[in-house]
Chain A
Amino acid sequence: MAFGIGGAVGTALSPLPWKLTDDLSIWTQNWPWTPVPPHGEVTQVDSVCTLCPGGCGISVRKVEDRVVKIEGMPGHPVNDGGICLLGASGAQLLYGPSRIEGPLKRVGRRGDGRWQPVSWKAAVAEVAGKLGVLRSGGEPHTLGCLLRSDRGTVPGLFSRLLTVFGSPNLMRMPSIQDTYELTLYQMQGALALPGFDVDNTDFLLSFGSGYIQGWGSPVHMFRAHSRWRNRGGRVVQVEPRLSISAAKADDWLAIKPGTEAALAMGLSHVIITESLYDRDFIENRCRGFESWVDAEGRIQPGFKQRVLNTYTPAKVSEITGIAAADVVRLARDFAKAARPLAICGRGRGRVPGDLGAFMAVHALNALCGSIQRAGGVWAVPEPDYINWFQPEMDKVAATGMQQSRLDGAGGPQYPLARYLTSYLAEIINAGKGYPLKALLVAGDNPAYTLPAGGNVRKALDSIPFIVSFSSFMDETTRMADLVLPNHIYLERLEDVPLAQGFSRPLVQLCKPVTAPQFNTRHSGDVVIDIARALGGSVATAFPWKSYADCLKETLGGNFQKLMRQVYMVGRGTGAPGHNAAFETASGKFEFTNPEFKIRPDYEPIEAEGDAASFPLVLVPYDSMRLASGFVADSPFMVKAVDDTVLKGRDILVEINPQTARKYGLADGAIALLRTPRGKARVKIYHFEGLMPGLVAMPTGLGHSAYDEYIGGKGVNFNRLIGPVQDPVSGLDAAWGIRAKLTRV
């Protein structure tokens, strides 16, 4: 014992305990596994975020070559320094564990996740070999290509490849862009994109659009929202759920889902009866407002007559569930605002929607003159800088291009639609048309993002050869035979031809901020490689040495300018005005396009399923905290999700307590949610802000691929819903699906 005491005294008199305590405390404050950015030179590189179509400018902070922070680019016309959660967590996508490190070839069964790394040369040779067989067999049209967007040089190269190869089956992923483009074409004759001058509007009427939940250009909308708040603009949100957008609005009108078009028509009724419309615009710049006599001598009812006959406030109230007095008041407020703007496309705008409804909302804007003027809707011309030489097509290609599209777009039934991608899976599964023998997928994750996910997977399974260009091991890529990973946006050079919903034409350049982390290759280069390997007229259509060469040549003098300043705005700041705005045959705004006889109207689109077996209706809701598009949520975003959305691995579905009581569903209970398309285990969340009879589910969860941080959490809404075709355009107009909840 004395030895022990002596030892203790001696130890206390030595530096040992003090030094050890100090070292341990330093050790605990600096866990060796906590990543610390290296010391080094700090630089800032400006580029563009392409994680959504929002088109924000970003300013990336680097230490040496390591990306440490992504911020919004100050002074950028879209986001002026602002950024969203997804954009801010881009570094996690760059360095995250789901990146694909080089070209892979499937070994083992499809979806097993067993891969063999191959060289780029071998991978390109394999694609060229497989595709070459289709051409030599005289069936080039059995090659399909799914892209996120069809604008810009990289989609342009894919599109060119398909053309000279001989396939009409280039498909773009669905969104409200589809319907807005048709609306502008029908009513203004313009091949254009919709732009919304939200900066200058003083009254925003949103028909279910999540204006601060990712609709349009998300950060731009956030900034506009702050501006309305500061300058006293008004916002009215029309939707069946008390969403964030509804909660932040001045007024929230809970409407029966799917009846928004009736409300738009009802508002027009009040505005017309009370003569609140923009007389000058209607009388001088529009056609089809009044009834007219057509070439055959028949009287065609004008917009005014149809609205007055059918959409009285009382009738509209019956359809929408909104009190007639509210309809009248809203119409007056809207029409009396100096610069009112009505927008549509539900939530984030993932589902195209029905054309009649979009036209009804556009007609409402027209009534108030909010077309092509400050605070209104502007037709933004398609980017026109890609002027490549016309490629020569050989006989195989020419015959292939004669085939009708597999998705039926532009065909006899749906002549208006450019793409009907939402139905591709159903068509393939039903064995209609011809079978697809090869599919290239770039920039999107259709196995996750398309409706009726189960069908999509089945359809993909029937395609013998799938090539994915994804940078991540996502759901679609897991089903691929060959993976040719692209650089991610922080590593590549690419033009960004639009910012969704932005009112002016904008061309931007996304440039490599850091060196590629892995053995990835620019998809533009890979397309050129494939074309070259295919040889013949396919190869001659691609004379560029590399994608970078192609881009430089395409942008000409603007390339250097864009390298320096990131973006170029096409037009001055003012509104485009009405002169030359309407490219219709009449040169006027058309309430009913005489060529197509398509008009603004309310045609009920029913939710799929029968009410007897499925008494409830499931609707989706979008949130800025979850990415529901082609990019999965970042781990950071998953952490930011409320426990009213995701708890552990369980997704929460909202239900009105009154409805919940009727079905014996306690708050927090686990239930089985069934729809005609699938079933899922969910947790019940009582929410007063949802209309009785509905069940609301967040989108963006339920990834089955990716890594432990992202995958296996919650349920993918797209698995539970199927497309519902708009009879006019053929586009998917599903707003919800019938559902049943049972306790388990």
Chain B
Amino acid sequence: MSTADEKSRKAAAQPSGSIPTAEEGPAPADTAGGKVMAFFFIGLAASLFVGWIVFPKLLYSQKKQPIDFNHAMHVQEVDNGCESCHFFRPDGTFTGIPKLDKCLECHEEVQGDSAEESRFVNQYAQKGKEVPWLVYAKQPACVFFSHVAHVRMGKMDCAACHGNIGESQHTRVYEQNRISGYSRDIWGRNISGFKRHTWDSMKMADCAACHKRAGVHQTSVQTGKGACFVCHK
């Protein structure tokens, strides 16, 4: 197939004003049509490959957490489950990932024989340096999220959004979106956006769906749906 040919033929035909006839079309039809289809499918396949396989690989960079943290082991050691370290302050704000101070309550000295623990104590605890944890669940700054509204008032379970992280023995690789800078967990591991568990993704649609189910401020004057200002202050 030659597009240049086609063009020149059209260009030659037009000044005479004649309508191109069937004979003037690409010939011979069957071999050329096959080629076109072949190219079409090659293009299709290539782009599908790029879109589904290559693109997600390119889009996310892989980062390791500074310390390989064992949630499962910690949960066993503490009395109060998740809230032992991730708790509400008296003013209702949520601590999120604990600061060094909290870790120091137990780890001023090395406690066990884990290599990661002694690395933590040497590199961070003793130097008074905060651990630069990478936060899987971090939402963009334009989102106002209140833990207390969900956990205390909404009676939601931590796992509803965070999954079974409390059972993990190692920290996962943190995949960072190269464009937006946020974690892959927000969009979800499935690049097509489908999810099986509530915690698979944490996009606006996920929040909105749950808010709709729970009837949270479905009072927007403009849209008749969830009010934007619930989350976007």
Residues of A within 8 A of B (CB): 1-11, 13-16, 18-20, 22-24, 26-27, 29-30, 32, 34, 36, 39-42
Contacts and interface: CB of A to CB of B under 8 A. Distances in A.
A14 B142 CA distance: 28
A546 to B, nearest CB: 24
A461 B136 CA distance: 59
B129 to A, nearest CB: 15
Interface residues of B, number: 40
Nearest to A17: B51
Contacts of A39: 96
A20 B55 CA distance: 10
Contact of B3 (A1, A13, A18, A29): A1
B192 A15 contact: yes
A131 to B, nearest CB: 39
19 contacts: A2-B43, A3-B39, A5-B43, A7-B44, A8-B47, A9-B40, A10-B43, A10-B44, A10-B47, A11-B51, A14-B47, A15-B51, A15-B192, A16-B50, A18-B193, A23-B59, A27-B180, A29-B142, A41-B95
A9 B37 CA distance: 13
A15 B60 CA distance: 14
B209 to A, nearest CB: 16
Given A10-B44, A13-B48, A26-B182, A19 B39 contact: no
Contacts of A24: 179
B137 to A, nearest CB: 11
A2 B52 contact: no
A34 B56 CA distance: 27
B197 interface: no
B179 A27 contact: yes
B44 A16 contact: no
A6 B40 contact: yes
B1 interface: yes
Contacts of B177: 23
B40 A15 contact: no
Contacts of A5: 40, 43
Contacts of B45: 6, 10
A1 to B, nearest CB: 6
Nearest to A9: B44
A590 B232 CA distance: 65
Interface in B97-150: 99, 140-142
B44 A15 contact: no
Given A3-B39, A26-B140, A10 B179 contact: no
B71 to A, nearest CB: 20
Question: Which 9 A-B pairs rank lowest in CB-CB distance, beginning with the nearest?
Answer: A14-B51, A6-B43, A10-B47, A6-B40, A2-B39, A7-B43, A16-B51, A3-B43, A6-B44
Given A8-B43, A16-B51, 6 more contacts: A10-B45, A10-B51, A16-B50, A27-B180, A30-B181, A36-B141
B89 interface: yes
B187 A22 contact: yes
B93 A42 contact: yes
B48 A10 contact: yes
Contacts of A3: 39-40, 42-43
A19 B177 CA distance: 11
Contacts of B50: 10-11, 14, 16
B43 A30 contact: no
B191 A19 contact: yes
A39 B130 CA distance: 14
B46 interface: yes
Contact of A41 (B36, B56, B89): B89
B79 interface: no
Contacts of A20: 179
B88 to A, nearest CB: 11
B5 interface: no
A39 B141 CA distance: 10
A4 B91 CA distance: 58
A309 B181 CA distance: 82
A10 B46 contact: yes
Between A10, A23, A27, the greatest number of chain B beta carbons within 10 A of the residue's beta carbon is seen for A10
A34 B141 CA distance: 10
B162 to A, nearest CB: 16
A36 B143 CA distance: 12
B179 A23 contact: yes
A120 to B, nearest CB: 23
A23 B59 CA distance: 10
Contact of B91 (A8, A29, A36, A42): A42
Given A22-B187, A26-B140, A6 B3 contact: no
Contacts of A19: 55, 59, 187, 191
B84 to A, nearest CB: 17
Contacts of B39: 1-3, 6
Contacts of A40: 99
Contacts of A41: 89, 93, 95
Nearest to B6: A1
B143 to A, nearest CB: 10
Nearest to B47: A10
Between B51, B56, B91, B193, the greatest number of chain A beta carbons within 10 A of the residue's beta carbon is seen for B51
A13 B52 CA distance: 9
Nearest to A40: B99
A30 B142 CA distance: 7
A15 B193 CA distance: 8
A26 B181 CA distance: 9
A439 B167 CA distance: 68
A4 B89 contact: no
A204 to B, nearest CB: 40
B43 A14 contact: no
Nearest to B190: A15
